[in-house]
Amino acid sequence: MKLPFFNKKDDEIEDKMFVEQNIDVKDIIAPPYIGITQDYIKLGDKIAKSFFIFSYPRYLNTGWLSPVINLDVQMDISFFIHPINSELILKKLRSKITMVSSELMERQEKGLIRDPALETGYQDIENLRDKIITAQERMFRFGLYITIYEETEEKIKSIEVNLRSIFESRLIYIKPSLFKQKEGFISAVPYGLDLINVHVPMDTEPLSTTFPFISFDLSSNEGILYGVNRHNNSLILFDRFTLENYNLVVFAKSGSGKSYAIKLEILRYLMWGIDVIVIDPENEYEFLADGIGGNFFKISLNSDNHVNPFDLPLPGPDDDPEDILRSNTINLVGLFRIMLGGLTSEEDSILDQAITETYAIRDITPQSDPNTWQENIPLMSNFEEILENITQAESLVRRLKKYTRGTFSGFFNQRSNIQIDKSFIVFGIRDMEESLRPIALFIVMRYVWNIVRTNIKKRILVVDEAWWLMQSEDGASFLFGLIKRGRKYWLGVTTITQDIEDFMKSPYGKAIITNSSLQLLLKQSPAEVDILQKTFDLTEQEKMLLLEASVGEGLFFAGKKHVYISIKASYTEDQIITTNPGEVEKIKEAKRRLKQSTN
């Protein structure tokens, strides 16, 4: 039975109302609103503005587009390269050369002064004709379009000013695609459609310079092999003594290969005849010193190796004895500030006076003969005797006694007995009590500094785990003084640390980095990579690279250049410098067996 109110057509319409609509990719990625004006496009909450380049200079440098690519701005860039038939170009060039030649002859007949621009144009056309005929060059029509994205018109204008500044400094000129913003937007996105059609004729050589992704090359005629450039697989050959200073800072987490990299550098510089001195808090360089015939001096309270804090350098011909004594006094006051747990301003003044009197009573003054100084160097106990005769120095004497008569006197109240007579010297302070390590570092570095000033030659000083010294302001100040003044004495300081946060907390941390022409950043922990990113102005890609890098890989900075480095060693080098405990033990066992077999 058919109901009178039922209609088949109505039933079909009702069914369609409940059918789920199909959603495709376009519905997902399309902005909620698109509005086109004469100078920008509104894409939902974003504003897009398109530009084209319409003029280039006579010469283009490689990588001229890199500063734009590296801007922290969301943008699309598209190239359109249209080949031009060589026969058509040659025909036009013949016509052009005829016109230019006629104009030159006409000016010559009229006796007019020469026109350099016209003559240069003539030469350029002739050179281009020769290269096209010999198939060395081809001609193209080149279009370059840029679309930038921001949230407000003010930000768009700011980016436009920045773009114009970058391009116009290179004599390259851009214009917005007025009344053609839709065409500009389509041309910049990857449709492969050139709707702007603003082209500049360009031959092969300048066209090749538009490629924006270039990698720095750190290969020089002289230097040691630091590693392989992972960007282009070229060798990183470099001599740190060719830069404005010879200092290197190394930041890396434990196990990332920092000690391995520095040992490799040491080994290769030693082959160049350059001396190396290492201050080693963990005795990691002892195996290397034994392997290459260097000296390893164990620095501890029970060691037979002693360094006298009161040692002085032998003045050179250009050194003023008074300046040496003054500088030494300032450094000693800094050392005592660390040893005695801080000083009041009054105690600081008393120590300054006592140090001067201690040297004077041993006939070490600006007026005495510097050649006699080394025979009369005082000890810590001599300094204590002077302090005992100064009023209001009782507290200082009580705190000093543990270094002159107490537990620590075996190391601090002795004459220096270390001979620096080999190219590779290591001071191992692992067995020094932890509370005394910053003091031992300071004393050993002062001793090394005296050697450097006395005998000037190319040297590298490696300060491993430098954050120990950076814990005190006086220690950090002394390290910074070495780094800043080392160039005068042909000294390159290598500062290594895995505790980046503590290093950068020091007021001298940033200054040490600034005064180091070389920086090596290896694998980092997530907790500290943000500090490095801010310090070295790293991109997000470089930050991720440091987080994900393999052992022995990272970023190597040399001056204004930096590359992605992979540190490589030969088998023989690896056997000498390895820090793997298992490998070290195998090598030692092999040596013992070889020695037994020879006996």
Q: How far apart are CA 41 and CA 46, in angstroms?
A: 8
476 vs 448: CA distance, rounded Å: 16
Question: What element of type H or E holds 46?
Answer: strand 46-55
Q: Is the dihedral of CA 567, 568, 574, 580 positive or negative?
A: positive
Task: Give dist(CA 492, CA 475) in Å, integer.
Answer: 18
* DSSP assignment of 536-556: HT--HHHHHHHHHPPTTEEEE
> How far is it, in rounded angstroms, from Cα 289 to Cα 303?
18
Residue 278's closest CA among 83, 153, 425, 404?
A: 425
d(CA 205, CA 207): 5
Q: Provide the 3-class DSSP secondary structure of residue 145.
A: strand
**Residue 140: other Cβ atoms inside 10 A:** 20
Locate 79 and state its tokens: 């190239």
The CATH T-level fold of domain 244-307+418-568 is Rossmann fold (3.40.50)
Q: Would you say the C-alpha torsion 507, 508, 511, 516 has a positive or negative sign?
A: negative
- Please report the pLDDT score of residue 424 as a whole number: 94
Could you give the 3-state DSSP secondary structure of residue 250?
Answer: strand
Is 230 exposed, middle or buried, given 0-12, 13-18 or 19+ CB atoms closer than 10 A? middle
Domain boundary assignment for the chain: 32-83+140-214, 85-137, 244-307+418-568, 317-415, 572-599
Q: How many helices (H) and strands (E) does the chain have?
A: 24, 18
Query: Which residues, including other chains, have CB under 8 Å from residue 406's CB and lie 6 or more apart?
Result: none
pLDDT of amino acid 563? 85
How far apart are alpha carbons 523 and 424 in whole angstroms? 28
Task: Give the pLDDT of residue 1.
Answer: 44
Q: What is the pTM of this model?
A: 0.66
Q: N- to C-terminal Cα distance for the chain?
A: 119
- Pairwise CA distance, residues 370 & 368, whole Å: 6
DSSP state of 222: S
Distance of alpha carbon 543 from its chain centroid, rounded? 13
Residues of the chain with pLDDT under 70: 1-23, 25, 27, 213-218, 317, 579-585, 587-588, 590-591, 594-596, 598-599
Is there a contact between 534 and 287 (Cβ–Cβ < 8 Å)?
A: no
What is the CATH class of 317-415? mainly alpha
